[in-house]
Amino acid sequence: MTRLFGTDGVRGLANKKLTPVLALRLGQAAAEVFTAKRESYERQPLAIIGRDPRVSGEMLDAAIASGLASRGVDVVRVGVLPTPAIAYLTDDYGADLGVMISASHNPMPDNGIKFFSAGGKKLPDEVEDQIQATMEKLTEDGPTGTKLGRILSEAPDGRERYLNHLKEVVSTDLSGIKVVVDTANGAASKVAPIAYEAAGAEVIAIHNKPNAFNINEDCGSTHIENAQAAVVEHGADLGLAHDGDADRCLAVDAEGNVIDGDQIMALLAVGMKDDNDLRYNTLVATVMSNLGLKLAMQEQGIEVRHTAVGDRYVLEELNRGDFSLGGEQSGHVVLPDDCTTGDGTLTGLSIMARMAKSGKPLKELASVMTVLPQVLINVPVSDKSVIMDAPEVQEAIAQAEEELGETGRVLLRPSGTEEVFRVMVEAADKEQARKVAGRLSAIVSSV
């Protein structure tokens, strides 16, 4: 059985792979799985549904809402809001599950469906597998009459609840900070500028006019050059770039230099340690984080724990160890005391709060970490499952690690979706990183 769920929900080309029929059946199956887990039946089960502004979200919203209601779940549709807002509202409304319809940073024709359990938490693999197994056994034997769910009109206070939450968790006055925000014509197009202005910042918003077709189109965190240019043009103190569903945030300093997720985590970790908010002096990052992050944190007396690639694995480790900060190089930053998933708007507020508290510009704060040159090569292979067992690959890795020593790193891993092997090399010198990555890639390709 091919697994329907990927690393972040069900995703694909809308109306081809991800059809309204599939969304309907996902809603029915999710309803059965989540209602079976309920401990109390004092009220009708409740689901929160949100989406980003891409055109296909409208039909998928209608389809999954119908699927849930047809299995006895009341649905509150909150409209266009960021993914972290849906996670928060799932908890705030006391819902049994939340649904976000978004393909994040993917192009407009794609879409995706991800679920949150009660409390706004991402689902473990086994629950996703339960939903898929239930979907494949669905019959037409659903409830009738008074046992059907209701589909309620869009909640008028969903956005306000989320904005009030952001204001409560980051109460620092940001007056005097001028920020450019690129919202990718996505889910944060209204929320992010309002949140930053409410905190006192002067906001210049770009790509904040979604029309159902322009999400992520040459803008946002995947095209950060727009924020770089706007920061310089407007003489701003920093720029922030979100993706389509606003669970990511990358930054730009006043000179137009990109500050990636690793650097954001580094400056936040140091600030949280100074404020005694970094529990166990530990930061959680993935194996793809730059070696420079680990070296910088060692100098600050902060331990870095590494997980597999994917914010869900960061979240699992944060929860397992009761840590207070984690994230990915891509700009997913998780502050579990204040959110149950990556929240790009909260990250932006936290960066500016650190600037305001320290009185230092972003470039100086980010300089706590030196980004080591990193080379990543995607190598097409015929069978990715045999690569790491090949003796010549193991020998080449050992030689590369000896050559690079403590100031370099080698990481080889298979793609999760293609017959591709990723070869990543970091070194103190860019040319050395290129040479080692090229040598390793050639060996991987020959296996």
For 300-321, give the secondary structure using H, E and C: CCCEEEEECCCHHHHHHHHHHH
Which residue type, as a one-letter code, is found at position 57? G
Active-site choice (104, 189, 330, 441): 104
For 33-47, give the secondary structure using H, E and C: HHHHCCCCCCCCCEE
Q: Which tokens is 63 given?
A: 């389809």
Relative to beta strand 238-241, strand 250-253 is: antiparallel
CA distance to 6, 71, 77, 236, 241, per residue, from 226 (Å): 30, 45, 33, 13, 9
- 104 part of the active site: yes
Helix (H, G, I), strand (E, B) or coil at 86: helix
Q: What are phi and psi of 163, to 5 degrees?
A: -65, -40
Distance CA 296, CA 175 (A): 30
Say if CB 308 and CB 286 are below 8 A apart. Answer: yes
Burial class (CB in 10 A: 0-12, 13-18, 19+), 144: exposed
User: Which string of DSSP letters, residue by residue, matches 55-85?
Assistant: THHHHHHHHHHHHHHTTT-EEEEEEE--HHH
Beta bridge pairs of residue 46: 74
Ligand-binding site membership of 245 (annotated): yes
Ligand-binding site membership of 274 (annotated): no
Say if CB 313 and CB 288 are below 8 A apart. Answer: no
Residues of the binding site: 104, 243, 245, 247
Residues of the binding site for Mg(2+): 104, 243, 245, 247
What is the set of active-site residues? 104
